[in-house]
Amino acid sequence: MGILREDVVVISPAEKAGDPTVISVNCPDKTGLGCDLCRIVLHFGLSIARGDFSTDGKWCYIVLWVDGKTNTRWDLLEKRLLEVCPSYFSTSGIDYYRPVNQQPKQLDVYLLKFWCSCVRKGLLHDITLVLFDLELTIKRVKVSTTPDGKVMDLFFITDTRELLHTKERQGETILHFKTALGDILESCEIESAGEEITACSQGTSFLPSAITEDMFSLELPARHPGGLLASDPISVTVDNSLSPSHTLIQILCQDHKGLIYDSMRTLKDYNIQVSYGRFFANRRGGCELDLFIVQADGKKIIDRNKQNVLCSRLRMELFRPLRVAVVSRGPDTELLVANPVELSGRGRPLVFHDITLALKNFNIQIFSVEIGRHMICDREWEVYRILLDEGDSHHVSRNMIEEGVRKLLMGWE
């Protein structure tokens, strides 16, 4: 006998203003489940204030205290959380320590193409909000501005609901864009994106070597990109004395948006199982994370080299979860943001949303956008290359742009 569907994910609303919403997940376990759940919570723009994870190796119980938003679609969040939980009708025959880094289900890719009669500040951010509301995920973007001031946008998207092949779903999407963009929208079309069309949209296939060496270094810099010293407290320690069967990883660091996700995706990439975990973020901006873990074979981590590699990787992922730089692209100014991709093929959610919001706050217009994936330093990265309008970018220094984008991505403002 299994448990009832409604018992798998339970969302308890905040009792009063300022209190967190409590999300409880009770289901069979799998390696990387915590990462998948935290990624969905991050995708909905929620911040995790506390968290408890526990499992006996077959069944797990997870509780997350999240700070929600007034417009959070809790019913949809519950549905998305359910989709990543293993079958809750039976716990037999499940290989709990199977490799989990196989590619997720490939959704059909569609080309959303539209022309706008003029450029408007914050236009791309308005578009990303519509796509988010419709559960359409951006895979690639190509934005071009013509000499006469018109804008042609090509968005390669997937549909979480898997309905974009229907006329009803396409009509709903176009109607939402007409409502959001108004008279400046001249035309909007949706079609299936074949391999030839997708290949033509790839844009620049290489990155300058100077950029790759500086941005994608796996070594901790002497100084944080935002000006903080590398000696700022980011502590990752290993302790094998507290449990006969588990290794304790203890993390003490400054809190940032998606911190638990960054920790969990790193462990998932190493195929490490979290048997018990506790997370707490205090009001001063610090956080504590205790994780009792085992390797894929169910044993604790004894090898010192493996411990050092894991700790070093966690420090880097928490210190620089995303890479941000503002550089020269010929005579123009280009913003680059690099997002590490999980071994499963998933990238961090809402990156483009936050980039466009930061530029909108600076009143900076976007001239063109390219999004692509690159193998750099033996890792796959999702790289956003945003060419800024030359006239608009001059009133804000490059350092201010870089710092503003980074702060918004990290949830520090």
**C-beta separation of 66 from 20 below 8 A:** yes
Residues 176 and 58 in one domain: no
Domain edge (last residue) among 298, 319, 340: 319
Q: Give the C-alpha separation, 404 to 219, whole Å.
A: 23
Q: Give the C-alpha separation, 155 to 132, whole Å.
A: 13
Is residue 168 in some structural domain?
yes
Q: What is the pLDDT of residue 218?
A: 66
What is the dihedral sign for C-alpha 74, 80, 84, 89?
A: positive
Is residue 209 in some structural domain?
yes
Q: What is the pLDDT of residue 328?
A: 84
The CATH number for 57's domain is 3.40.1020
* 45: Cβ contacts below 8 Å, ≥ 6 apart: 69, 72, 350
Domain edge (last residue) among 295, 319, 343: 319
Angle in degrees, CA 370, 374, 377, rounded to 5: 140
Residues 294 and 157 in one domain: no
Residues 330 and 203 in one domain: yes
Residues 308 and 358 in one domain: no
**Reported pTM:** 0.85
Report residue 399 as tokens: 């350092």
Q: What is the pLDDT of residue 70?
A: 73
Burial status of residue 23 (CB atoms within 10 A of its CB: 0-12, 13-18, 19 or more): buried
The CATH number for 137's domain is 3.30.70.260
Count of domains forming the chain:
2
* 380: Cβ contacts below 8 Å, ≥ 6 apart: 340, 341, 373, 374
HSE of 15, CA atoms in CB hemisphere, 13 A = 0
Residues 120 and 66 in one domain: no
Residues 202 and 152 in one domain: yes
Residues 184 and 299 in one domain: no
Q: What is the pLDDT of residue 9?
A: 94
Is residue 227 in some structural domain?
no
Q: Give the C-alpha separation, 239 to 343, whole Å.
A: 27
C-alpha closest to that of 82 among 194, 3, 170: 3
Which range, 138-142, 231-235, 332-336, is most confident?
Answer: 332-336
Task: Name beta bridge partners: 336.
Answer: 325, 385
Residues 401 and 283 in one domain: no
Q: What is the pLDDT of residue 391?
A: 66
In percent, the amount of the chain with pLDDT more than 70 equals 84
Domain edge (last residue) among 319, 347, 377: 319
Is residue 222 in some structural domain?
no
Residues 211 and 117 in one domain: yes
SS3 242: coil
Is residue 337 in some structural domain?
yes
State pLDDT tens for residues 278-333: 999 888 889 999 999 999 999 999 999 999 999 999 999 999 899 999 988 878 88
Q: What is the pLDDT of residue 246?
A: 96
Is residue 99 in some structural domain?
no
Q: How many CB atoms lie within 10 A of CB 257?
A: 20
Give the residue numbers spanning the domain of 39.
9-92+232-319
Residues 292 and 263 in one domain: yes
Is residue 236 in some structural domain?
yes
Residues 210 and 327 in one domain: yes
**C-beta separation of 138 from 157 below 8 A:** yes
Q: Give the C-alpha separation, 161 to 25, whole Å.
A: 22
103-134 core/surface letters (b: 16 or more CB in 10 A; e: else): eeeeeebbbbbbebeebebbbbbebbbebbeb
Q: At 344, is the pLDDT very low, low, confident or very high (cuts 50, 70, 90)? A: confident
Q: Give the C-alpha separation, 271 to 65, whole Å.
A: 26
Residues 126 and 185 in one domain: yes
Is residue 29 in some structural domain?
yes
**C-beta separation of 248 from 30 below 8 A:** no
State pLDDT tens for residues 50-109: 999 999 888 999 999 999 777 889 999 999 999 999 875 444 444 444 444 555 667 889
Name the H helices within 167-287: 167-181, 195-200, 209-215, 259-269
Backbone angles phi, psi at 312, to 5 degrees: -65, -40
